[in-house]
């Protein structure tokens, strides 16, 4: 004979079994919520272990992730630089207070951003001087 608490549990279980397909169908057509569902600690630990095992088995994925991150940051920096150059174009290319070397009425404007500690900047100097002489 079933006890009342066991009978109540079976009734709830039967109700859930009958109602779950319709509830699941309603939920599957509902828009995805912005928040992430809570994960219980045991599931979280299992997920972390799977990720840890995968990274140990495939360490090159870390390098790929870092490369992708660096490429993303480089692109963001280039975009920020381009935006700054565009927004300050008048100040950069036509400032009355900036020095002009070579032909002030020339058809080419070359703006030099120079770092005295930069070896590449120092090596580029003769090429820049040649370009200035060509535009006179």
Task: Assess whether 117 and 81 both reside in one domain.
Answer: no
Q: Residue 136: is its pLDDT beyond 90?
A: no
Domain presence at residue 8: no
- Please state the pTM of the whole predicted model: 0.49
Distance of CA 84 to the CA centre of its chain: 20
Q: What is the pLDDT of residue 26?
A: 54
Task: Assess whether 102 and 83 both reside in one domain.
Answer: no
Which residue's entry shows tokens 């580029």?
124
Q: What is the pLDDT of residue 87?
A: 96
Q: In terms of pLDDT, which residue wins out, 104 or 90?
A: 90
Domain presence at residue 64: yes
* Domain end call among 87, 107, 123: 87
Domain presence at residue 32: no
Are the C-beta atoms of 71 and 77 separated by less than 8 Å?
Answer: no
Are the C-beta atoms of 85 and 104 separated by less than 8 Å?
Answer: no
Distance of CA 65 to the CA centre of its chain: 11
Number of domains in the chain: 2
Are the C-beta atoms of 66 and 99 separated by less than 8 Å?
Answer: no
Q: In terms of pLDDT, which residue wins out, 1 or 80?
A: 80
Q: Residue 6: is its pLDDT beyond 70?
A: no
Task: Assess whether 44 and 83 both reside in one domain.
Answer: yes
Are the C-beta atoms of 133 and 108 separated by less than 8 Å?
Answer: no
- Domain of residue 130 covers 98-136
């Amino acid at each position: 004979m079933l006890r009342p608490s066991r009978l109540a549990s079976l009734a709830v279980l039967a109700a859930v079994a009958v109602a779950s397909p319709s509830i699941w169908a309603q939920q599957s057509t509902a828009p995805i919520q912005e928040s992430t569902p809570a994960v219980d600690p045991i599931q979280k630990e299992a997920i972390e272990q799977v990720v840890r095992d995968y990274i140990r088995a495939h360490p090159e994925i870390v390098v790929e992730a870092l490369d992708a991150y660096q490429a993303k940051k480089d692109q963001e920096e280039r975009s920020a630089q381009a935006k700054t150059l565009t927004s300050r174009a008048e100040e950069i290319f036509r400032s009355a207070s900036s020095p002009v070397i070579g032909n002030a009425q020339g058809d080419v404007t070359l703006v030099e951003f120079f770092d005295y500690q930069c070896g590449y900047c120092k090596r580029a100097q003769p090429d820049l001087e040649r370009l200035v002489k060509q535009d006179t």
